[in-house]
Amino acid sequence: MNGSPVDIIIFAPLAPIFGVALLWFIQLLFIEFQKLLLSKIKRNHQAFCRFTNFIGILFQSICHALGFTVTKSGIAHFKVTVDYGRVKPKKNRKGLFEWISNSFLFIGPFFLPALLILGCFVLINGGIDVTSSVNYTFAEGVINFFSNVYVLLEKFIILLVRIDLLHPVQLAFFILLVFLGLGIRPSYIGEDKRRKVDMMYDLRNIWSHITRKPLYVILLFLLAYVLSYLSVLFNTNWYVFLFSILGWLSVTSIVALFIAQVIILLIKTTDEIPGRLKILTYITLPLSYIIMRMIFFVFSVEIYGYKTISLLVMILSTVLVTFLLLYYKTNKFKTKINMKSLKKKTKET
Amino acid sequence: MEQDELLNNEKIEKVLSPHPLSFMKYQSLCIFLIIWGLLSLWLANFSEYKDLFTINEWFPIVVWALVILAVGVLASIVAIRWLIFFMYLGIVLLGIGLVIWQNWIQGPWIVLPIYTVAMSFIGFLLVEWFRISHKYIISNHRIVFKGGIITKEERTLRYDKISDINSKQGILGQIFSFGTIIPISQSGFGLGADQSFAAGGVQLGDKKAKFLGLFGGGREVQTPRARSYYELHGVYPYKEIKKLVESMVQGSVITQYQQEQVEFQKEQVDIQKQMRDLLKMQNGPKTGGKNDKEDE
């Protein structure tokens, strides 16, 4: 075992915690960007925004209920609507139990949808590889943590690139990814602006939750340190693995958010196309994929990665159709008759 | 609504139809058929389990039929409507009959999935036909509910006869801003009943002599419920329509404040009458006396 004792005792346990915090911050930025995009399309797509709100509120309420269940407070009332969720406990517990149930409420919505996606991913993929090292220094901890995260990210991207949208299980996984990606946000995009609900609002909530009971946070840190020392003692680096799960959840959320954002961006772009022509974009999307797959199937073209090629064709053709529609249909200065003949006509008259 | 159907001084405020997604409980039955049609096509032709379907020529048909019937039973129990099961049974029997009649059993597993998807499209069309047959007319005097594909039904409800308004909005309704408003009349039209029943059996005696007893108890709860023809089913925009109906009802029904005012005015009239009588009584003998003297 290499590394100085100070590093192993004081700094090494902090390595995966920093890693999780960093990924979680990136996740927050993605959430903020998604909220910005949603607020841009809110006017024309109120139903869509309400739907995303509902998914977000549903998970928030489930997390809240989960918090009450874990702390054995019981659930007296559970209500989820498009605008708000309400969960009431049977017993109003104070102290540590209250703090834990609130932790579920504030932090749960960031991770619970991702947990569902990750579970499905593991089922489809058949597990995730974990890297471990025998060195328990801060640097090794960071490397181990990010290696684990990278392994998952790589496998996730490979799955997405090779995804077969005509395979029911994979299609269901993709739909789940998009739906949950739309709902991985704890705060609400309302019908009207009641108050500023943004990333800072979420962070302020979490910060006040932490500072209200600093003793519990210190206890959590102490627990983390104890776990770290135990993993050094037994020479099995499952301390980093434990935090890697949180890292995986963050990465899963980021991927889901990214895909959801691409879809929102497509909706936002097609909104600029006048009239009903925007339907062409939405028709091109599945049609191009199905045509490509049929070509590969009917003509028995044996090309490696034909699913990826079909996906690529689908994306490119959709982008091209959208671009062409935007170019030809939104040019306000373009006249029906060309300028030369128009000038001639005006001269004649 | 035609002009001659209107009452004196009647003005139409809104003419409504249910929202396209308001009959989702029926549409979801069609959605299931599409999904199962495509899934069975994939299972038997492209999936890793496709060899299973080649064991026996009847095997895919049996699987296809059993899944549809199982979902039919499940949906019927949930919706408490056995019509769903019989509809699915009809689809299954028709499908099997078609396959046997045309001798398509030995061919590739493609006919029944296509047939299932086609049936779901027919289902969608029927639901849509049923939806557009509904017409709700909100005027300043009454609400007229019209509907019916073959038999035309109509219900007219005057605002002063409405005793209660029940409104509900599911998740889909909340997302797409539609909802159902049930005006309950004073006679109780618009109310249904939820029934629950519990039963227990007891067996007494040994092998030779048996006694079987069955004990049960039922319970009924009145709940706002009406056929889609007799309620404002899935109307859009829900909040606006609800406000309109409520304001119309409020405009036709005497409110508490108005009742108090009427009572107060009655009291005032009574007092004034009493005062007039008193004045008459006070003035009565004097004038009578004068007359008597004059008479004398």
The predicted-structure confidence for B33-57, as pLDDT tens digits, reads as follows 999 999 999 998 888 888 888 888 8
Domain containing B202 equals 3-18+134-252
Q: Do B42 and A81 touch (CB under 8 A)?
A: no
| pLDDT surpassing 50 at residue B295 | no
* Residue-level pLDDT at A159: 92
What are the start-end ranges of the H helices in chain B?
Answer: 24-45, 59-79, 83-101, 111-132, 171-176, 238-252, 256-295
Q: Whats the size of chain A, residue-wise?
A: 349
Cα separation, A262 vs A314, whole angstroms: 14
Question: Is there a contact between B177 and A47 if contact means CB atoms under 8 Å apart?
Answer: yes
pLDDT at residue B174 in the model: 93
Which residues from B are below 8 Å from A54, CB to CB?
171, 174-175
User: Are residues A54 and B38, on separate chains, in Cβ contact within 8 Å?
Assistant: no
Q: CA A264 to CA A198: how far, in whole Å?
A: 18
Q: Is B23 helix (H, G, I), strand (E, B) or coil?
A: coil
Cβ contacts of A173-176, under 8 Å, gap ≥ 24: A173/A120, A173/A121, A173/A124, A176/A116, A176/A117, A176/A120
**Closest among B122, B158, B127 to B228, alpha carbons compared:** B127
Pull the structure tokens for residue A74. 């019981």
pLDDT at residue A1, as a whole number: 58
The pLDDT confidence band at residue A193, using thresholds 50, 70 and 90, is low
**Does residue A235 share a domain with residue A283?**
no
Structure tokens at A120: 């499905």
Per-residue pLDDT averaged across A71-79, rounded? 88
By CA distance, what is B178's nearest residue in A?
Answer: A47
Average pLDDT of every residue of chain B? 85
CB A44 within 8 A of CB A69: no
A282 by DSSP, 3-state: which? Answer: helix
**A83: chain B residues, CB-CB within 8 Å:** 174
For residue B194, pLDDT beyond 70: no
Residues A144-167: what's their mean pLDDT? Answer: 91
Q: What contacts B39, CB < 8 A, 6 or more positions away?
A: A168
Classify each residue of B48-87 as buried b or exposed e, where b means 16 or more C-beta atoms within 10 Å of its C-beta: eeeeebeeeeeebbeebbebbeebbeebbeeeeeeebbeb
Q: If you average pLDDT over residues B166-174, what whole number do you get?
A: 92
**Average pLDDT for residues B94-102, to the nearest whole number?**
92
Residues A252 and A285 in one domain: no
In three-state secondary structure terms, B55 is coil
* From A147-156, A230-239, B202-211, the region with the lowest mean pLDDT: B202-211
Which range (B2-11, B164-173, B187-196, B258-267) has the least confidence? B187-196
Are B128 and B24 in contact by the 8 Å Cβ rule? The answer is no
Close Cβ partners of B219 (under 8 Å, ≥ 6 residues apart): B195, B196, B197
Amino acid identity for residue A262 in this structure: V
Number of folded domains that form chain A: 2
- pLDDT value at A179 more than 70: yes
The pLDDT, as a whole number, for residue A274 is 84
Residues of A in contact with B22 (CB under 8 A): none
A126 with A80, same domain: the answer is yes
pLDDT at A333: 62
The last residue of one of the domains, among A225, A260, A295, is A260
Q: Which domain holds residue A323?
A: 272-348
**Does B171 lie at the interface with A, CB-CB under 8 angstroms?**
yes
For chain A, give the mean pLDDT. Answer: 85
Q: Is residue B294 pLDDT above 60, yes or no?
A: no
B38 reaches A (C-beta below 8 A): yes
Q: What is the CATH number of the domain that holds B233?
A: 2.30.29
Q: Is B39 on the interface with A (CB under 8 A)?
A: yes
* Beta carbons of A47 and B38 less than 8 Å apart: no
The answer to whether residues B12 and B142 belong to one domain is yes
What is the pLDDT confidence band of residue B262, given thresholds at 50, 70 and 90?
confident
Which of A82, A166, A167 has its CB closest to that of B175? A82
Q: Under an 8 A CB cutoff, do B175 and A167 touch?
A: no
Tell me, yes or no, if B42 comes closer than 8 A to chain A by beta carbon: yes
Mutate to test the interface with B, among A50, A57, A293 (most CBs of B within 10 A): A50
Average pLDDT over residues B249-268: 82
Instruction: Identify whether residues A164 and A205 lie together within a single domain.
Output: yes
Binary contact (B174, A82; C-beta < 8 A): yes
Q: How far apart are CA A130 and CA A148, in angstroms?
A: 6
pLDDT of residue A280: 92
Beta strands in B191-231 (DSSP E): 191-204, 211-224
**B187 plus B281 within the same structural domain:** no
pLDDT > 60? residue A196: no
* Interface of chain A toward chain B, CB-CB under 8 angstroms: 46-47, 50-51, 54, 81-83, 166-168
In sequence order, what E strands does A11-103 have? 75-80, 85-89
Closest-approach residue (CA) in chain B for A48: B175
Q: What is the pLDDT of residue B234?
A: 93
**B266 and B233, same structural domain?**
no
Residue B12 touches chain A, beta carbons under 8 Å = no
Q: Which residues pair with B147 in a beta bridge?
A: B153
Last residue of a domain, one of A208, A233, A260: A260
A329 and A289 together in one domain: yes
Residues B7 and B138 in one domain: yes
B102-109 contacts at long range (C-beta below 8 A, 24 or more positions apart): B105/B57, B105/B58, B105/B61, B106/B57, B108/B45, B109/B40, B109/B41, B109/B44, B109/B45, B109/B53, B109/B60
Return the residue of A nearest to B45 by Cα.
A167
Q: Are residues A132 and A36 in the same domain?
A: yes
- Cβ neighbours of B174 in A, within 8 Å: 50, 54, 81-83
Q: Are B85 and B76 in contact (CB under 8 A)?
A: yes
CA distance A133 to A129: 14
pLDDT at B87: 94
Given a contact cutoff of 8 angstroms between Cβ atoms, the answer to whether B143 and B249 are in contact is no
pLDDT digits (tens, 9 = 90+) for B7-17: 888 889 999 99
> Measured between CB atoms, which of B39, B42, B175 is closest to A47?
B175
For residue A167, which residues of chain B lie inside 8 Å, CB to CB? 42
Q: Is it the case that residue A119 has pLDDT exceeding 90?
A: yes
- Most confident listed range (A183-187, B4-8, B125-129, B202-206): B125-129
Task: Please indicate, yes or no, whether residues B145 and B121 belong to a single structural domain of this protein.
Answer: no
Q: Is B177 on the interface with A (CB under 8 A)?
A: yes
For residue B21, pLDDT over 70 is answered with yes
Residues A93 and A9 in one domain: yes
Does A43 map to a domain? yes
Scan residues 125-154 of B and list those with Cβ closer than 8 Å to A: none
| Residue B203: strand, helix, or coil | strand
Which of B174, B176, B178, B236 to mutate against chain A (most A CBs within 10 Å)? B174
- Please give, rounded to a whole number of angstroms, the shortest distance from the CA of A321 to a CA of chain B: 28
For the purposes of burial, counting CB atoms within 10 Å of the CB of B284, is it exposed (0-12), middle (13-18) or buried (19 or more)? exposed
Total number of domains constituting chain B: 3
Band (A335; pLDDT cuts 50, 70, 90): low
DSSP reduced 3-state for B274: helix
Chain A: closest CA distance from residue B236 (Å): 13
Average pLDDT over residues A10-21: 89
Please, are residues A233 and A134 in contact by the beta-carbon 8 Å criterion?
Answer: no
Q: Is B175 on the interface with A (CB under 8 A)?
A: yes
- Give the lowest-confidence range in A52-56, A176-180, A277-281, B221-225: B221-225
- Percent of the residues in chain A that have a pLDDT greater than 90, as a whole number: 34
Structure confidence by residue, pLDDT tens digits, A285-317: 999 999 999 998 888 776 778 889 999 999 999
> A70 and A200: one domain?
yes
Residue B192 has pLDDT above 50, yes or no: yes
> A–B: how many Cβ contacts below 8 A?
23
Q: What is the mean pLDDT of the segment spanning B124-139?
A: 94
pLDDT at B107 over 60: yes
At residue A104, the pLDDT reads 82
A267, pLDDT greater than 60: yes
Residue of A45, A51, A53 to mutate for B, most B C-beta atoms under 10 A: A51
Q: Can you give the pLDDT at residue A19?
A: 93
Are A203 and A130 members of one domain?
Answer: yes
Instruction: Say which DSSP state A10 is in.
Output: I
Inter-residue contact B162 to B174 (CB < 8 Å): no
Q: Are residues A186 and A332 in the same domain?
A: no
B28 versus A301: the higher-pLDDT residue is B28
Instruction: Identify the domain boundary among B99, B115, B131.
Output: B131
φ/ψ (deg, to 5) at B139:
-110, 180
Q: Say whether B39 and A168 touch across the interface (CB within 8 A).
A: yes
B6 contact A CB<8A: no
What does each C-alpha distance from A77 to A33, A61, A88, A98, A273 come to in angstroms? 33, 11, 5, 17, 46
* pLDDT the model gives residue A332: 61
A250 and A277 part of one domain: no
A84 — pLDDT class (breaks 50, 70, 90)? confident
Mean pLDDT of B162-180: 92
Interface touch B38/A46, C-beta < 8 Å: no
Give the residue among B174, B157, B172 at the shortest CA–CA distance from B232.
B157
Q: Which of B39, B46, B175 comes nearest A54 by C-beta?
A: B175
> A207-211, A310-314, B209-213: which has the minimum mean pLDDT?
B209-213
- Tokens representing residue A32 in the block: 């903020």
pLDDT over 70 (residue A206): yes
Q: What percent of chain B has pLDDT over 90?
A: 49
Q: Does B165 touch chain A (CB under 8 A)?
A: no
Q: What is the pLDDT of residue B296?
A: 42
Cis peptide before B237 (omega within 30 of 0): yes
